[in-house]
């Protein structure tokens, strides 16, 4: 077992899964492997969301759906994930390209929070949902007991729009530009196929928050 595996409390059967979870796209592109952690990050986002939602459902039985949504949003937001990652020294282990390294990628919340989600997915694929839960639950427990100190525009917008169950809304990435170390995403909020908000950010999560903020401003909220 490596020192990092000891720190996270899980020993991988397939070490290549761990290596891929720690491989940023800039490193994969630079070395020509093409195997980065973005697909794992995609899966890890959903695994983390499920574990968090189940925990909240079981431990906050007296709380309404709206409050559970706010707690979940805080527990899985980029800033909180970055805090989780710092506790296990994840930034020191991520494989970065030279350009990303020079521009401070090792301490960039969007890069490290994505790697944390990729790590969750790697543990899930290697050991199953129980092992993934064992790893991430201690972080979730602390975060969900913390009062959010940020404005979660996505949760606020969801509460407003869910007042009319027939309304369908979704976030769509409509643009992506810039080098790996300085990406910019453009996201739109669509309500019944109509664009009601648009936002930019250094990560998809940030762009979604900005798009939700834009939609709320359009509604005068």
pLDDT tens digits for 130-147? 999 999 999 999 888 876
At 221 the pLDDT is: 64
At 155 the pLDDT is: 82
- Tokens in use for 77? 């937001």
Q: Give the pLDDT confidence of 15-57 residue by residue, as tens digits.
A: 999 999 999 999 999 888 889 999 999 999 999 999 999 999 9
Task: Catalytic residue, from 36, 41, 100, 117: name it.
Answer: 117
At 21 the pLDDT is: 97
Beta bridge partners of 171: 189
- The architecture of the domain spanning 3-144 is Orthogonal Bundle (1.10)
Name the helix (H) or strand (E) containing 187.
Answer: strand 184-191
Placement of tokens 């979730």 in the chain = 140
Percent of the chain with pLDDT over 90: 53
Query: Which spans in the chain are helix H?
Result: 3-8, 15-21, 25-31, 38-59, 65-76, 78-87, 98-102, 109-127, 129-144, 153-161, 204-218
Average pLDDT, integer, range 53-66: 90
Q: Is the pTM of this model over 0.75?
A: no
Specify the 3-state DSSP secondary structure of 186: strand
Give the count of alpha carbons within 13 A of 103, CB side only. 14
Higher pLDDT, 182 or 47: 47
Q: How far apart are CA 10 and CA 214, in angstroms?
A: 42
Q: Which residues contact 102 (CB under 8 A, 6 or more apart)?
A: 181
Q: How far apart are CA 210 and CA 184, in angstroms?
A: 12
pLDDT-derived band at 149, boundaries 50, 70, 90: low
At 114 the pLDDT is: 93
Known catalytic residue: 3? no
- The architecture of the domain spanning 153-218 is 2-Layer Sandwich (3.30)
At 37 the pLDDT is: 95
At 192 the pLDDT is: 84
Task: Check if the beta carbon of residue 152 is closer than 8 Å to that of residue 73.
Answer: yes
Task: Catalytic residue, from 45, 78, 126, 180: name it.
Answer: 45
Known catalytic residue: 117? yes
**How confident is the prediction for the chain on average, in pLDDT?**
89
At 130 the pLDDT is: 96
Residue 179 predicted with pLDDT over 90: no
Q: Which residues contact 193 (CB under 8 A, 6 or more apart)?
A: none
Domain ranges of the chain: 3-144, 153-218
Residue 113 predicted with pLDDT over 60: yes
pLDDT-derived band at 164, boundaries 50, 70, 90: confident
For 191, list phi and psi in degrees, rounded to 5. Answer: -115, 110
pLDDT-derived band at 148, boundaries 50, 70, 90: low
């Amino acid at each position: 077992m490596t020192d990092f595996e000891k720190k996270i409390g899980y020993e991988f059967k397939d070490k290549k899964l761990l290596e891929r979870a720690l491989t940023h796209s800039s490193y994969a592109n630079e070395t020509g492997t093409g195997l980065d952690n973005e697909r794992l990050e995609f899966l890890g986002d959903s695994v983390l969301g499920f574990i968090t939602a189940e925990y909240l459902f079981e431990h906050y039985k007296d709380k309404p759906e709206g409050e559970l949504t706010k707690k979940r949003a805080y527990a899985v937001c980029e800033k909180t994930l970055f805090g989780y990652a710092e506790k296990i020294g994840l930034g020191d282990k991520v494989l970065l390209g030279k350009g990303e390294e020079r521009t401070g990628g090792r301490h960039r919340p969007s890069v490290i929070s994505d790697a944390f989600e990729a790590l969750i997915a790697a543990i899930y694929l290697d050991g199953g949902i129980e092992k993934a839960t064992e790893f991430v639950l201690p972080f979730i427990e602390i975060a969900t007991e913390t009062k959010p100190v940020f404005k979660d525009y996505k949760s606020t917008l969801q509460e407003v729009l869910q007042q009319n169950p027939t309304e369908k809304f979704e976030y769509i990435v409509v643009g992506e530009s810039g080098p790996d170390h300085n990406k910019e995403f453009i996201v739109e909020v669509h309500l019944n196929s109509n664009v009601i908000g648009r936002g930019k950010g250094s990560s998809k999560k940030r762009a979604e928050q900005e798009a939700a903020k834009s939609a709320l401003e359009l509604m005068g909220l």
